[in-house]
Structure 1
Amino acid sequence: MATLVVIGLGYSATRAVEEVAPRFDRIVVTVRDPARAAGLNASGVGSVAVEALAFDGTAASDRLAAALHGADALLVSAPPAADGADPLLACHRTDLDAARRLAWVGYLSTVGVYGDAGGGWVDETSPCRPVSPRSAARLAVEGAWAGFGAVRGVPVVMMRLSGIYGPGQNALEQVRSGTAKRIVKPGQVFNRIHVDDIAGAVAASLARPDVTGPLNVTDDEPAPPQDVTAFAAELLGVPPPPEQDWEAAWPTLSPMARSFWGESKRVKNARLRRDLGYPLRHPTYREGLRALLAAG
């Protein structure tokens, strides 16, 4: 019986579970909230039945330990703990060492590990110079998982994700709700990735465990954020929000938004396409937003 264990069932991991469910007989997921775990056990993830466990990363869980011992694949989507460590490695390293069936580990990371490239191109061979503490912690955890894989002889892939969008979390929703901003910072560009392509990349990686190490999971076209907002407004047939100067908008931004705006880079996905052989379903934000609009 093939078993998948998912640590941290958030937005991206939820879609990945739906994508890869047919490959597994048993799927065990963790969430922080015991009440949410109970709800998932009753309702499943979409149409997928799961065993949901409460795990907040502060203490080992006997039930999670048992699941890890029988795991064939492990998808880690939980963020680093407050001390910067990976919660699963911190609490269950002994159980992971004992997971003799484990044949694949996927870690969902971020392109933020590259830091600021001044709008230049980066790929998996580029030096990592994270700016934010959050991205620095991600890079350290990547190293910890790579070390685990080397010691155990288990394939580990670190999927570095760009700005994630998809159902309920996209520029169309922001324009509709009136929360969209068209902030202009000359030279600023980001990449993005549709959540369906994250799920697709996870599925492709499970089929190609020989492709290990860092892997940029990102779209083909880095673009200024104001262009994406304007395109979303065009699709909806409404005027785009007015442009705002970067410096004037800065005091209104959340710390998370400021960390994004403090970095500018163009991220290459050649390894995703060439080595993993994964064709993007939504190569740019245009295809992604059109598909979201068509889906309602």
Structure 2
Amino acid sequence: MSKLARPRLLILGCGDVGMRMLPLLRGRFRIFAVTSQAARSDELRAAGAVPIVADLDQPATLARLARLARYIVHLAPPQPDGLRDCRTRNLTAILPDATTLVYVSTTGVYGDCGGALIDETRRPNPRNARALRRVDAEATLRAWARRSGSRLSILRVPGIYAADRLPVERLQKGTPALAPQDDVYTNHIHADDLARIIVAALYRGSPCRAYHAVDDSHMKMGEYFDAVADAFGLPHPSRLPRGELEQTVSPVLLSFMSESRRLSNTRLKTELGVRLRYAQVDDALAQVGQIARAGNFVPD
């Protein structure tokens, strides 16, 4: 199939995960990538995408996106304040009918679950403005999909990691972690696996269906930090009771330490047919550790 005859795909928020997606998609689609930074145009073009300079905060710049593509991957985060995702609302105002859209949301929509194992039927219960904006985005997109006859898949994503996306600097600074009795469960997905999950959702996602884009590991946050420290030969972080830790870490970091949940990925595997390349965090860290010990990897 010639390049011009391929179906068109639009990526909004083509950062690290978007760039990992491009090699998986450029032979199947003619890809357009939206960026608000004109300086990124050459980088996107070299990776196989047609760059489009537009800004989801500026509705007047979005007119050229209308009816541009029938396949859309929405990776753009909400604006950093407020309780509504104005960027997603601006986007849905110009989207065509009968579109396939994959939205990358966050597992933070569930709030604190007390460490319980949950699936996608769990009702969202956001506890901060950041998560409220994501819930608003999901609701806005569901309403648009039903109204327009479009196929929407929502991927709820936890902490994304990769060899260059690990908390090494945090460990080097000696930032403490929670004491075991106060620690919380966290969830993870490798950036390469997330890119593959998005591609699977484009083809196999069911209409208005949510999926947990998470791996198989059920780790507490301190255990994760210890595992990364071991991979790089760094000391484990000290552990403090919650009351003491609240006096030493930022409010943003503390908010992540205040929610505990474990997420089932059964729907991801059975409905999207995803086979994770890095099913456990330890699988990826073993590779990173080998490279680090050989002196061929220096963390940012």
**Fold shared, TM-score > 0.5 on shorter chain:** yes
Match among 12, 20, 30 for residue 17 of structure 2: 12
Q: Which residue identity is paired with 1:39?
A: A
For residue 3 of structure 2, what is the aligned residue in structure 1? none
Instruction: Note if 1:291 corresponds to 2:291.
Output: no
Change (3 A) 1:72 1:262: same
Alignment of 1:76-225 (within 5 A): 76-81=74-79, 82-96=81-95, 99-100=96-97, 103-172=99-168, 174-175=170-171, 177-179=172-174, 181-186=176-181, 187-210=183-206, 212-225=208-221
Q: Establish whether residue 43 from structure 1 lines up as the match of residue 39 from structure 2.
A: no
Moved over 6 A (4+): none
1:211-255 Cα shifts (integer Å, max 9, x gaps):
641111111122111112222222223432333333212122223
Over 3 Å counting, the alpha-carbon distance change for 1:173 and 1:15 in structure 2 is: farther
Which secondary structure state, in structure 2, belongs to the residue aligned with residue 200 of structure 1?
helix
Distance in 2, Cα, partners of 1:260 & 1:29? 30
1:29 to 1:291, Cα distance in 2 relative to 1, 3 A: farther
Deviations 1:1-49 (Å, cap 9, x if unpaired)? 4222222233333333343333222322233xxxxx3222122277334
Unaligned runs of 5+ in 2: 1-5, 292-296
Aligned residue in 2 for 1:21: 26
- Alignment length, in residue pairs? 285
Q: Deviations over 1:166-220 (max 9, x none)?
A: 1322134544x44554332525211111111110100111121436411111111
Give unmatched runs, 5+ long, in structure 1. 32-36
The answer on 1:270 being equivalent to 2:266 is yes
Distance 1:83 1:239 in 2: 39
Residue 66 of structure 1: aligned partner:
64
Asked if the contact 2:176–2:245 (Cα under 8 Å) also holds between the matched residues in 1, the reply is no
Q: TM-score, normalised by structure 1?
A: 0.86
Q: Is the 8 A contact 1:5 1:73 kept in 2?
A: yes
Mapped partners of 2:21, 2:251: distance in 1: 28
Are the counterparts in 1 of residues 116 and 261 from structure 2 also a CA contact under 8 Å? Answer: yes
User: Secondary structure at 2:212's aligned position in 1?
Assistant: strand
Distance 1:179 1:21, change over 3 A: farther
Distance 1:232 1:89, change over 3 A: closer
Identity of aligned residues (%): 26
Aligned with 2:114: secondary structure?
Answer: coil
Cα RMSD, aligned residues only: 2.3
Shift of 1:164: 1.4
Contact 1:215–1:271 (CA under 8 A) maintained in structure 2: yes
